[in-house]
A and B are shown apart, each in its own frame.
Chain A
Amino acid sequence: MLYEQELKTFVEGTTNFFEVAAQQAATIGSPYLMEGSPAVHEYTGVINISGKREGVVYFTAPKAMLTVLLMKMQEHDFSHETMRDLVGEVANTISGNARRDFGRDFVISVPSVLSGEKPDVPKRPGVRSFIIPINWRSHSAKLVVSLT
């Protein structure tokens, strides 16, 4: 059972990045539950969690959103590597927030980054994932929390 406060920590870690780095807040869409993992966008930042909870949390975003986010950050390099770098930084912020709020009950990995049309996102058979749409400007990304 995932507690509301735990979800809130992951969501705030994500929205905080947009609010501070791009100076423009993101909004949260209606969260929903689904069995397994949802389809991902072109770039995905993943953190693995063990300890009190087991599973993965990832932020997946389309290239178009990341491009605009980079522009808002005054960045001029929109290469594939920079997109990977950016999604990794978002995951890094989510990870940092979780470490602050959960302390040693959670063991949180260094973020890894996946990219491409069909990246190998960790599958969690039988585990229902929370999917939280992250809307920013005209774009939408997903925060996926898949923990037991």
Chain B
Amino acid sequence: MIFGGRQQTNGKARRSLKLMIVDDSNIMRRRIERSQQFDELELVGTAGNGVEALELFQKTDPDVVTMDLTMPRMDGIECIGRLVALKPSIRILVISALADKATAVEAMEKGANGFLNKPFTDRQLNEAIAELMR
């Protein structure tokens, strides 16, 4: 799903980073969208699996991605590797219920920049995104 264009403030285009949310759960996609509090992040779209994420990437060229890992069609680990190959500067925050260290290490080795366990509070989400954009 693709979302609208650049936000306007007082007639001037606000400088923004484009955000893509990837999660097979509608609840989680909406939760992340609703809870993130960064004015500089402009949501450009959401995807329910890795294949959709790659298609959306071609259309919207996001700068920041939140990425679930366990998804149908293409999982998050493979998708991270492909996104990083396409755009090395992309910033990826993994948001997953997979709480084991080995999974986090694998995601980081593929190119993820942060890892947040589900479930999460709004504060934890915003701290993780702030860290990602630092």
Contacts and interface: CB of A to CB of B under 8 A. Distances in A.
Answer yes or no: are A and B bound together in one complex.
Answer: yes
Interface residues of B, number: 20
B103 A89 contact: no
A75 B30 contact: yes
B85 to A, nearest CB: 25
B25 A99 contact: no
A86 B97 contact: no
A contact face: mostly helix, strand, loop, or mixed: helix
A37 to B, nearest CB: 24
Contacts of B126: none
A99 B27 contact: no
Interface range on chain A (Cβ under 8 Å from partner): 20 to 34
Contact of A89 (B25, B100, B117, B121): B25
A89 B95 CA distance: 12
A99 B103 contact: yes
A96 interface: yes
Interface of A: 16-17, 20-21, 23, 70, 73-75, 77, 81-82, 85-86, 88-89, 92-93, 95-97, 99-100, 103, 110
Interface of B: 25-28, 30-31, 34, 70, 96-101, 103, 117-121
Given A77-B26, A96-B97, 9 more contacts: A73-B27, A73-B31, A75-B27, A86-B27, A89-B118, A95-B97, A95-B98, A96-B100, A99-B99
Which 6 pairs across A and B sit closest by C-beta, in order of nearness? Answer: A96-B97, A100-B99, A20-B119, A21-B119, A92-B97, A96-B99
